[in-house]
A and B are shown apart, each in its own frame.
Chain A
């Protein structure tokens, strides 16, 4: 199986959140992301820090991940971004 690059992994994480009605528990997201716990933590922390994903808490204090506007924009533009990177040899 081909190794996913950084952008594909970010896309897959964001898409998983979107596919779960824009609200998903960390453990479920980890399972769907097909990453090691350490890699997953690095990616999700980066996504939160850069404003693609936000953490929300329910009444019982459970943490969920949800997309921000920037996260939606990334998904919307993902195909264009990939084409741009491929066309200009930046991959």
Chain B
């Protein structure tokens, strides 16, 4: 296995693990606020980051398995793992968890005006994931994620218009939510389009920085 492949796999694994840790940290650190308030919006917000972390984790699982085989020079057949099945499964979970993450964040912002039950959110995300897995259509995957992104943008617009404390839009948290999921879509795109390692590293750094900044703001608030 060429050296650059090892570097690529190591970068992927490190990135996904970093994102997963940050998402888990956000979920855990907001637990007390949810326990004290039992607010639906806080529950949705926490779930959004939980599922975002799981979406990245499902992908990292695949990369870690491959890396393990490569690092120890074990042929994939010897790992007793059907890589194609894992790839399909992780792809399904990636779409399912990713879609859920966007849905939960969208409805955390507008739940008091328009609420979709959690069962329906899961049903919608499973349907999207099943359709994409069945048709193996990358175009459908991108279209679905962009459609969900627009749903988030509408939710943000609605929440901003309804907020009592009117602050500058660009100084608040909303642009960060948008950026988080713009980079999510870019992360989905690079899974299919072969890109140079340097480009991927830049994308991963930017995505990690946005998530780390959101996590920092949350941790600063909740203590």
Contact = CB atoms under 8 A, between A and B. Distances in A.
A80 interface: yes
Nearest to A86: B165
24 contacts: A6-B39, A50-B38, A73-B36, A77-B32, A80-B33, A80-B221, A80-B223, A81-B33, A84-B33, A84-B221, A84-B222, A85-B37, A87-B221, A88-B218, A88-B221, A89-B108, A89-B156, A89-B163, A89-B172, A90-B108, A90-B109, A91-B41, A91-B163, A91-B164
Chain B facing A: main interface SS: helix
Interface string A66-88: 00001001100100110111111
Contacts of A86: 165
Interface of A: 6-7, 50, 70, 73-74, 77, 80-81, 83-91
B181 to A, nearest CB: 14
Interface string B101-117: 00000001100000000
Given A50-B38, A77-B36, A89 B173 contact: yes
Interface in B2-19: none
A89 B102 CA distance: 15
